[in-house]
Amino acid sequence: MSDQPQPIPFRSVLPYLGAAIVMLTGIGLLGLIQQRPLIVGHGFLRIDGLSALTMVLAGLIGLTVPPSWRRIGQLGALCIALLSGHLIGLALGSLIGTLLSEDRRYYLSGAGMAAGYLLIGAGADSWWLEFSGTGLNSISFVLLLAGAVIAVGGIETISRRESPFDPLIALIGLTALLRLYSVGPWNLGWQFATLLAGSALALGASWRAVTAEAAQIAESWLQRAISGLAMVAVGCATPAGVVAAGLLLLHLCVRRLGDPASGIAPWAGWMLSGAVPGTLGFIAFWSVSAAAMAARIAVLAIVVWTVALLLILAAGRNIAGQHRQQSSIIALISLGGGLASPWLARWLLRPLSDHLQGGLTPYGAIEPWGWAGLLALDAGSRTAATAPGLALLALLCLIGALAWLVLRWRKGV
């Protein structure tokens, strides 16, 4: 047999190429819609902050899943739903994306989301997204919420069944919920239902992550819990909550790229766990708790940090101690993303909250605080929470250096 390396079949590379194209397209679109959404063909094509950000996230996720034609189809269906300004496009994109899944339980998720949007259109004066607010009612909302809960992992959490997590399906479900803000504002009952469902999912999945025996199973539960927290952030119905959901999904993508369950050096594993101040995971956990504090829901902030601590414990417990160059690079990217969070909030996430503003309440916003970090503001523009950035990192480095010098001096004495 020849020892020559075998060429990689082009067909196995094509799904990754498609994911990269979707991601780069999303980045390019972000530059076009910073000021206002791009609406083409009398609303048939709608490109806004949600469209661009979700394309970036979907492309990143596509690089972390096994290559297959199903994944290419799911990415295409998600793009149809994201770029459509018509409710039928939203319904078809969500349904096709879930029907292409290998797990039949997600078919019910797609059916719920599609039925919810079709019901909105049937009861509205227009099927166009911007003019369909009159069709939004409790029945259509419950259908959409149920579909999103199943997509994030509600059935597995209730049944305690151990199965792989499908991040693309979860992204479809969360995107369907976020797009609902383009239809119209939510009432308090809908917000409460979303917060309750997201909190239950996050708490249940995080506990399963801590108690799971195998690292791969723990990682699946951990990612479900992060998605549950993203649902909590969406349910806040504020610009701060929308930004927090975006940061949590970015943290999920970065963690998947690092693949810590396959083995990771301890320092890199902790960088991806969310335990280290300044990393993307830490900023993501802070942001959703800050959104709760800005909205004056202290109990929700307690739930968020309980979930975050359980996830940090689960992540630390499953660090295998194996050095892998890929995971080390991704861990440094997590640190860089956390330190660059003010820039990310302004350029990547601000269009998301700005373009959904019509359906959001004013009870909380996350604003860049220059080089120092992020501020969470309540409805009265008062500071509810802060996340210092480079200033805190420099101070921690200085304190660490002084502690090291003291220890060296005591040994010398």
The DSSP result for 262-314, as a single string, is G---HHHHHHTTT-STTSHHHHHHHHHHHHHHHTT-HHHHHHHHHHHHHHHHH
* 147 vs 306: CA distance, rounded Å: 26
* Average pLDDT value for residue range 313-335: 84
In this prediction, residue 382 carries a pLDDT of: 66
Question: How much of the chain exceeds pLDDT 90, in percent?
Answer: 34
Higher pLDDT, residue 139 or 376 = 139
* 339 vs 394: CA distance, rounded Å: 11
145: its two tokens: 């919420």
Q: For residue range 51-104, what is the model confidence (pLDDT) as tens digits?
A: 999 999 999 998 888 878 888 888 989 989 989 989 999 999 999 999 998 888
Q: Give the Å distances, CA to CA, from 285 to 35, 47, 290, 363, 370.
A: 28, 28, 9, 19, 20
Residue 250: φ, ψ to 5°: -65, -45
pLDDT averaged over the chain?
84
pLDDT band at 383 (very low <50, low <70, confident <90, very high): low
- Neighbour-count burial of 238, counting CB atoms closer than 10 A to its CB (0-12 exposed, 13-18 middle, 19+ buried): buried
Q: Is the pLDDT of residue 276 over 60?
A: yes
In total, the chain counts a number of residues equal to: 413
Residues 6+ apart with CB under 8 A from 286: 374, 385, 387
pLDDT band at 4 (very low <50, low <70, confident <90, very high): very low
Q: Is the pLDDT of residue 158 over 50?
A: yes
Q: Is the pLDDT of residue 392 over 60?
A: no
Q: For residue range 92-147, what is the model confidence (pLDDT) as tens digits?
A: 999 999 999 888 889 999 999 999 999 999 999 889 988 888 889 999 999 999 99
Contacts 24+ apart (CB under 8 A), 278-281: 278/335, 278/338, 278/339, 278/389, 278/392, 278/393, 279/334, 279/335, 279/337, 279/338, 280/247, 280/250, 280/251, 280/254, 280/334, 280/335, 280/337, 280/338, 280/341, 281/251, 281/254, 281/255, 281/334, 281/338
pLDDT band at 1 (very low <50, low <70, confident <90, very high): very low
Q: For residue range 196-250, what is the model confidence (pLDDT) as tens digits?
A: 999 999 999 999 999 988 889 999 999 999 999 999 999 998 888 898 999 999 9
Helix axes 298-317 and 280-294, enclosed angle (nearest 10): 160
* 303 vs 286: CA distance, rounded Å: 12
